[in-house]
Structure 1
Amino acid sequence: MADFYQQSAEEQAERMLDLARTAVEHWDIEAGDIALIKYRENAVFSVTDTSGHRYALRIHRSEYHSDSELLSELQWMDALLHKGVGTPPVIPSRSGSLFVIVEHPAIPEPRQVDLLGWLHGDPVGAIEEAQSRNGDEVADLFRRIGKLAAEVHSKTADWSLPEGFARHAWDAEGILGDDPFWGRFLDLAALDDQTRALLVRACDKARQDLANFGMTEQNYGLIHADFVPENLLQRGEDLLLIDFDDAGFGWHMFELATALYFHVDDPNLDLMRNAILEGYRTARALPESDWELLPLFLFLRSLTYLGWVHTRHETETARSLTPMFIDRTQMLALNYLNES
């Protein structure tokens, strides 16, 4: 058998499908159709049973989360669902566990697998394109994004973490430390000396600003950490939230910065920024002093994406995104330092 990690993405996906067929037998469903939806970090399959009910089966990447961390992710999703947030229902396996460990000869290591109820809705990204950037519609969308983020933060703050709950942290160490959670961004080979020096100066300032900001129940807690268009679905007037893979402990402002990050060069950015703040404040307080730190958190968010492409530099996706992320990080660093 050829080495799995030397195969093309298409060949790997075929092997993942073999594992998915084995994994689904751990649930009390009679699977009919199993089809790949996405294979990037995790492999996500659409599973339709013989009664027509649809599910999302996730095969997790190896060694990204420990078993306790994945269990914690699923427990949080379940808690949010029961508190009224539109998240996928977690479907327990036949044994009652929220995920299973599955082996298959086609895959070189055991994988964590879970099954979620399918959420029907239109991806926000597609909605934005269809709207042709109509200002009123964009403002309405970002007000609802802000409100959803606030509801996630507020309802989580009222939730008692289960015993053994464990997730990574998007804190100063996790973003700016010697071994950042998403990778050592300063080691990215595509950075030139001038850009690297700029980032070092901005990072030094960021460490001090984060220390001054601190971590309190009002500004820090569990966050989704991936509030991007592809993870937001619209169903009628409701916004639904999927893909909690990157969720962890972090600043609430990091969440809002993530929601705005891929729009920083959009002509409607000011509109989006004002709308997301307005929406957030309808469900949770956000002091003006916190909001004024948005340039800091946009810069920090951009650093994480540099780390992401650095640790995946051999992939076509990383190669194609690297120039954009470098340009954007330079711009955000200069803006944060008031040097733009």
Structure 2
Amino acid sequence: MKEFFALAPAEQIARMHQLARGALSRWPGRFAEPELIKYRENAVYSVRDDRGARFALRIHRFAYHSDAALLSELQWMAALREAGLAVPGVIPARDGALMVKVRVPEVPEPLQVDMLGWLGGRPVGSVEAGIAGAPDEVAALYRQVGRLAAELHAHAASWQRPAGFVRHAWTAEGILGDRPLWGDFRALPELAPHRALIDRACAQMERELLEFGRSADRFGLIHADFVPENLLWGDGRVMLIDFDDAGYGWHMFELATALYFHFGRPSFGIVRDALAAGYRSVRPLPNEQWRHLGLFLLLRSLTYLGWVQTRSETETARAMTPHFVSTTVDLAGAYLAER
């Protein structure tokens, strides 16, 4: 796929469109022309069938997840939906498969494709702009976000995983180890002037995480991407999309992700307190865990540095790197100052 990704973005999109058109024949019904919604990690299309029903067709990035890992993601989503959580439904293909492999001449490798039910609503905000609204509106919104996170964790704690279920793990090794899941933040040139600070913080975090542990009251399946773009507001409720990063991890890592892009904004305290209150209305969140929020915010920040380091050629990475570096340095300094 190296040759494919060397193509200009417009040419990649044109070729992906052909794959999307070919993939639709694998699902029952007749569909209108697919409309590209997003092309970043995955290519996501809006499609409508001849009855007017709307769906999301996802073409997954080559070799990002194994077939078993993607199937596991979809199985968990289907179980959450069946349990009544506000997540997309999974639409089986004609043969009943939750995921299919599709190949067309325009793309050199077969790619994984799935179809999800469309959730109406709008994102509650964006990474760049944050969220808008009066303080009481923001608080009410994030109380719902906290409840949704707690419901998801409660479901994961009791759900019997299917045979062959496999997902990656957001552990100390997966974030701070030699081969982090999202790339090596240490290799980011812009971080070089701050390496001594970051190395001290990483050493302290490894010790603290070992003590914190991975017992079932604090560690399990998580969504791992509760960012504003993945939280939709519609029909008076918050809905959750994009389980691409879902895996095993600390519940506090989940909550830190929900808070991360509010850090440094005037709304941070409101969002933080509302998120915790909403979570605690569904399942326990002891102060013994919550007091480690600074640790998990810093862990989350390091993953974003790894993300931009492995995508340094993209416009998004170039635009976000200064923000991620400055936020990481601020979080590391605050984290060490508290120890």
What TM-score range do you get, normalising by the shorter chain? Answer: over 0.9
Q: Residues 286 and 337 from structure 1, CA distance in 2 versus in 1: closer, same or farther, beyond 3 angstroms?
A: same
User: What residue is the counterpart of 1:329 in the other structure?
Assistant: 328
Code of the aligned partner of 2:212: F
Change (3 A) 1:131 1:305: closer
Matched residue, 1:182: 182
- Unpaired segments ≥5 residues, structure 1: none
Task: Between 143-152 and 3-12, report the one with greater CA deviation.
Answer: 3-12
In structure 2, the CA distance between the partners of 1:97 and 1:174, relative to structure 1 (3 Å rule), is: same
Q: Distance in 2 between matches of 1:217 and 1:199?
A: 29
Q: Residue deviations 1:4-41, cap 9 Å, x none?
A: 21122222111110000001110002011310000000
The equivalent residue for 1:314 is 313
CA distance in structure 1 between the aligned counterparts of 2:9 and 2:277, rounded to whole angstroms: 42
Aligned position for 1:12: 12
The alpha-carbon distance between structure 1 residues 15 and 200, as it changes in their structure 2 partners (threshold 3 A), is same
Contact map agreement 2:220 2:248 (CA 8 A) in 1:
yes
List per-residue Cα deviations over 1:87-139 (Å, max 9, x = no partner).
Answer: 1110111111100001111112110000111111121117x979843110011
The 2-side partners of 1:226 and 1:55 are apart by 21
What residue is the counterpart of 1:67 in the other structure?
A: 67
Secondary structure of the corresponding residue to residue 125 of structure 1: coil
Quote the offset at 1:339 in angstroms: 6.9
- Which residue identity does 2:281 align to in structure 1? T
> Which segments of 5 or more consecutive residues in structure 2 lack a partner in the other structure?
none
Instruction: Quote the Cα distance in structure 2 between the aligned partners of 1:178 and 1:328.
Output: 22
The question of 1:287 aligning with 2:286 is answered yes
- Cross-structure match for 2:231: 232
Matches within 5 A, 1:129-168: 132-168=132-168
Aligned equivalent of 1:223? 222
Q: Which amino acid aligns with 1:227?
A: F
The secondary structure found in structure 1 opposite 2:337 is: coil
Conserved in 1, the CA contact under 8 Å of 2:130 and 2:261? no
Aligned to 2:304: 305
Which residue type is aligned with residue 74 of structure 2?
A: L
8 Å CA contact 1:183–1:308 kept in 2: the answer is yes
Q: Distance in 2 between matches of 1:339 and 1:319?
A: 32
- The TM-score with structure 2 as length reference comes to 0.97
Amino acid at match of 2:117: G
State the number of aligned residues. 337
Percent of paired sites with the same residue? 56
Distance 1:161 1:50 in 2: 35
C-alpha change, 1:130 and 1:110, in structure 2 (3 Å) is: closer
Q: Tell me the SS of whatever aligns to 1:24.
A: helix
Tell me which residue corresponds to 1:22.
22
In 2: Cα distance, 1:105 partner to 1:129 partner: 40
Distance, in Å, in 2 between the alignment partners of 1:277 and 1:322 is 29
Alpha-carbon distance in 2 for matches of 1:325, 1:293: 20
1:79 and 1:271 mapped to 2: Cα distance?
32
Residue aligned with 1:33, SS: coil
Instruction: Say if 1:33 and 1:49, in contact at 8 Å, map to a contact too.
Output: no
Which residue matches 1:258? 257
Amino acid corresponding to residue 314 of structure 2 in structure 1? T
Rounded Cα–Cα distance in structure 2 between residues aligned with 1:136 and 1:109: 50
Partner of 2:99: 99
Question: Are the counterparts in 2 of residues 19 and 102 from structure 1 also a CA contact under 8 Å?
Answer: yes
- 3-state secondary structure, aligned to 1:139: helix
TM-score, structure 1 normalization: 0.96
Superposed CA deviations along residues 235-275 of structure 1, whole A, max 9, x for unmatched, are 12211110000000000000000000000011121111111
